[in-house]
Amino acid sequence: LAGFLSVLGERVIAAYRNKIINVHPSLIPSFCGPGFYGLKVHEAALARGVKLTGATVHLVNEECDGGPILLQKAVAVQPGDTPETLQKRVMVEAEWQLLPKALAMVCSDEV
C-alpha cells in the first residue's frame, strides 16, 4: 500500500489476509497510526528529538499500522535535518530496500 493513504475495508482485508503489505516511514510502534503519514511522520520524529528513525514493512490488518511487522530498518537522524531531507533518506536507505524484500517474502509464502 506504499503511499495509498486509504483504509481498506474489512472484506478486502479478509479476502487477502496476510497478502497485503504496507511500508511505513518510521520504526513502528513509533509515529504510526491514524494521522501519521508522509511528512507528518518525519515532523513528529524531529519534534521528539529522536536520533534514529527508519521504516517498517508490515502486513495490513484492520488496525491502522497495526499488522504484524515483517521487516524494519533504522536510519540515523542527522543534525540539520528537515522533514524533507529525513523523508528522502528514509526512502532511499530503508523503504526502497525493505519493500522488495518483503514482497519477495509474501510471494514465496515465507509469511
How far, in Å, CA of 54 to CA of 70, rounded?
14
Amino acid 11 reads R
d(CA 23, CA 99) in angstroms, rounded, equals 7
Q: Is there a catalytic annotation at residue 24? A: yes
Distances (CA, A) of 55 to 9, 10, 15, 86: 24, 25, 26, 11
What are the cell numbers at 48? 521528539
For residue 105, give the C-alpha cell.
Answer: 517474502
Say which of 24, 42, 58, 89 is annotated catalytic: 24
Cell of 100: 522488495
What residues act catalytically?
Answer: 24
